[in-house]
Chains A and B, each alone.
Chain A
Amino acid sequence: TQLLEQSPQFLSIQEGENLTVYCNSSSVFSSLQWYRQEPGEGPVLLVTVVTGGEVKKLKRLTFQFGDARKDSSLHITAAQPGDTGLYLCAGGDGKAAGNKLTFGGGTRVLVKP
């Protein structure tokens, strides 16, 4: 069974500070996705990384996939209140045809103005 562990579980910071969320596993994933979920809504896909060592930037968000494709990180620079939400990482099972995602437990981020 593939498992993904996210840390920290909760993060509270002031507007303008930086933050990093980690997603770790002992298993190799074919892809790693990051989502943000707000209360009452479904998760919204932020990025997908598929190559070991890959780094993707989306404005103030930087995503990295580990060389061995077992871990990933999300870094937010100069966080804003609009970044508040539940951040979820999800790994794709390369052995299964189609879509079968394993989700991490999530990191709840609160950015205070």
Chain B
Amino acid sequence: KAGVTQTPRYLIKTRGQQVTLSCSPISGHRSVSWYQQTPGQGLQFLFEYFSETQRNKGNFPGRFSGRQFSNSRSEMNVSTLELGDSALYLCASSLSLNEQFFGPGTRLTVL
């Protein structure tokens, strides 16, 4: 069974731009969660989508948004990029609680 895939793997943007990251979950998984990983703050929860609805949300500003499609694929968008948004963005899918499978991440660099 294919794992979680994320595209693109690497991205370079400049301040003020916006970016969209994509995540394809493991087949059959309906829950998709997004996390931001930085050296200073570690892994922080952004949001979770389940059946096209946002089920949980972390403490990030409104510039961070996401959505989920009927095939469970998910996208997250960051608008008006700031230098501090440079991070590894991880997507995780799950079939049940307490078991999340992570993708390889998208490394975003904001210049």
Q: Interface of A with B (CB < 8 Å)?
A: 30-31, 33, 35, 40-45, 48, 50, 88, 90, 92, 96-106
Contacts and interface: CB of A to CB of B under 8 A. Distances in A.
Contact of A42 (B44, B58, B97, B105): B105
Contact of A103 (B44, B50, B101, B105): B44
Contacts of A42: 4, 90, 92, 102-105
A15 B92 CA distance: 32
Contacts of B28: none
A99 B105 contact: no
A42 to B, nearest CB: 3
Interface string B8-25: 000000000000000000
Contacts, number: 71
A49 to B, nearest CB: 9
Interface of B: 4, 31, 33, 35, 42-45, 48, 50, 55-56, 58, 90, 92, 94, 97-105
Overall SS of chain B's interface: strand
Contact of A104 (B42, B90, B94): B42
20 contacts: A30-B98, A31-B98, A33-B98, A42-B102, A42-B105, A43-B102, A48-B99, A90-B43, A98-B31, A98-B50, A99-B31, A99-B92, A100-B33, A100-B48, A100-B56, A101-B45, A101-B100, A103-B35, A106-B42, A106-B43
